Structure 1
């Protein structure tokens, strides 16, 4: 009989009590304990089992579960006699910042203080008897969501001391989704002030805490040491490119295929692999996204389950407003190619507006891209990452993101595409000018001369949008030989009898030469002819009469399209 799949349940004890579908990752407990690291930071993409594994650690180590050996019976960890003796023997603090999402600094602080207050409420038994002094009891009851920043910073350190005194054992601390408020702080513009607060909290909790046994933190990104971990010298960081714990988060192919067999879906192995495989953690390949696999097992339908669970606001903004070079690399990725880039895996949020390569760190950590290889070059062993899109599901996520860029002029964009495919030049000009007026500044980063950067940024956004819109009908190639003004797009139809082949050349009017838009259009069309761009299409059997030429001329936000 198939086990019931409970979607979204992240409580380990509840899963085990109800005998719901569960992939045994209990040997993570042994690996982590035997590594002996004081503080471990593990980064993995969202929905990859971070919270469930943290809940499992809590159920295993916390003395609140001292009588719950039944939760682990039958699991791999229970075969280890030593670990049977460890289960349920430690005081433990478990917090989550997953819900700390605020548009204002003070609201974010209050939400974190609420999490700390909850820990105090759960341990009010400490107020009984003489374990705490009268002064400590007064401090205890003053821990509320409205306490000051200094009191909040010290609160977890104090709780560790109280628990250690009561249980005569140092405290284990688990902090899940530590970086969620960091991203919110960056998006909403209070990053610097917020990191000052968090740095104090982390320093008191993890650095100057003699009552800390060990700690685990999880998140999506590795926030830079300088931002919030500057005082932590005892931090073991495990990223997606680390070998440590590589198979502890996400499902291995062996685990996925066993589940498919159990649910009568063995024949769909290859389809599931194409859609949901592809994640690489360290040297461990063929890691599957658990959220999509569990949803697929339940619904038995291929859908973009994981890609649909996030708005991708930050990533979309960074790519949209990025330079031509970043967008060119995105074009290569969408076309199934690999890119070679160098970046620091640490997320320096305050540098995102200045160091564009930080986008690759965010895309890798988020799981949208995978590192096929990592090479360390030169005397300083600078890391170079060979990246590609993870799988079909994440490719679909990018396509939806690029389509979404034109939502400001969605109806006009749709009408332009329709006119474009019909060859209606008058309608193309009308709707493209409406689109450019609406969206030019949307693609402009606003830090360079807009007259020179807007057309180029818009052009690359347009190419990516076109790729997303016409991916089912066309292979779209962007020829980038000599910088903007000589770019072209070649749209190769999968079936030329249904859709024509299209060559597009873009030009910006040369203001120094007082070039008119009509002259720029004719220059673009001449280039298509003079450079024999048709040759490639003719060579693969597309008749000349099924090839269209378009020249696009830009003058500020005005566009003129011509055809020959």
Structure 2
């Protein structure tokens, strides 16, 4: 308040003042004396003011794209697609142009490498503490959800859920808008955020084994890329057998969250959890360059039962128009004794 209040007294001398930051504070708590400001956060006119739009990328940074394409040994079209997948996806109102994370994009061009630059600038310890406070699970963050603007654009000091913090700090963003209900669809912006966030959450589920877990997940990615889902699940089962668990992990939710975090960290693949189909929701859908894996996870039940649910609910029909190979995977998981994958069936 001592910093901002003098601005009002200086108004005759000020021509233009623009304030920006991470979290939003209520006008009453911080700006009660500075009551002549205009909040443009969700104004369509300013939708692309903070960040780099795709139009700006293509028109002003074409030379950078060409150099990066040469370095990565990719076509310009494939390089742009890779940049979109990793750093694009932000929207601060709707409609809005696609916004790239400027920090990550500029670091990528500078270092000539696709990397997780935004997460390299700091570990979201505060976010993890707030997740515990509000009882927020990784699946809840990873799933897209509908929200009223007051749910995510609320002042963070009065927030009743973690959604305003997630939105205002860039972990989730606006993905769509339903005009009929005046609701916004929120989701994780891009791969960089998804991978960085879930890497930060992994130690909560693997304790001291988180480093070995990252290695196992990287090896799983290679096996899946080669179409070897059996080898990937066998590797995961072998790794989970080495992880020490406490008594408070003997419940389904812990392992459900663990499996979600593990699959979310598989790089270069599109991971969807609880994807809606005409007759229900799939547990995990994983899309690679040439395969779509539909996975059903059953705790305390058999892999055959899991596979039967996929077939009974016709989950594969949702991907009938795809030219990719559809693979159905039923997974049985024991949470009482083995606390591990017991079996799986592939069709």
TM-score, scaled relative to structure 1: 0.43
CA 1:225–1:553 in 2, change beyond 3 Å: closer, same or farther?
A: same
Equivalent residue for 1:391, pick from 165, 190, 196:
190
**What residue number does 1:271 align with?**
82
CA 1:458–1:371 in 2, change beyond 3 Å: closer, same or farther?
A: same
8 A Cα contact 1:489 1:505, kept in partner:
no
**What residue number does 2:30 align with?**
228
- Alpha-carbon distance in structure 1 between the residues aligned to 2:106 and 2:153: 29
| Count of equivalent residues | 302
Equivalent residue for 1:287, pick from 96, 99, 105:
99
CA 1:478–1:385 in 2, change beyond 3 Å: closer, same or farther?
A: closer
Deviations 1:396-423 (A, max 9, x none): 3233233343462325973998999328
- Alpha-carbon distance in structure 2 between the residues aligned to 1:349 and 1:534: 44
- Alpha-carbon distance in structure 2 between the residues aligned to 1:226 and 1:406: 40
Q: Secondary structure at the match of 1:461?
A: helix
Q: Secondary structure at the match of 2:302?
A: helix
**What residue number does 1:402 align with?**
201
8 A Cα contact 2:103 2:118, kept in partner:
yes
* TM-align CA RMSD: 4.5
**What residue number does 2:322 align with?**
none
**What residue number does 1:299 align with?**
111
Match status 1:316 vs 2:128: yes
**What residue number does 1:550 align with?**
332
Deviations 1:489-515 (A, max 9, x none): 557696999xx9864323xxxxxxxxx
8 A Cα contact 1:436 1:559, kept in partner:
no
8 A Cα contact 1:243 1:284, kept in partner:
yes
**What residue number does 1:335 align with?**
none
Unaligned runs of at least 5 residues, structure 2: 70-75, 221-230, 318-324
Q: Secondary structure at the match of 1:237?
A: coil
Deviation at 1:285, TM superposition (A): 0.4
Deviation at 1:345, TM superposition (A): 0.7
Question: Which protein has the larger Cα radius of gyration, Structure 1 or Structure 2?
Answer: 1
Deviations 1:463-497 (A, max 9, x none): 332223445689564489xxxxxx99557696999
**What residue number does 1:348 align with?**
156
8 A Cα contact 1:339 1:386, kept in partner:
yes
- Alpha-carbon distance in structure 2 between the residues aligned to 1:398 and 1:532: 33
**What residue number does 1:187 align with?**
none
CA 1:479–1:303 in 2, change beyond 3 Å: closer, same or farther?
A: closer
Equivalent residue for 1:238, pick from 40, 49, 54:
40
- Alpha-carbon distance in structure 1 between the residues aligned to 2:58 and 2:289: 36
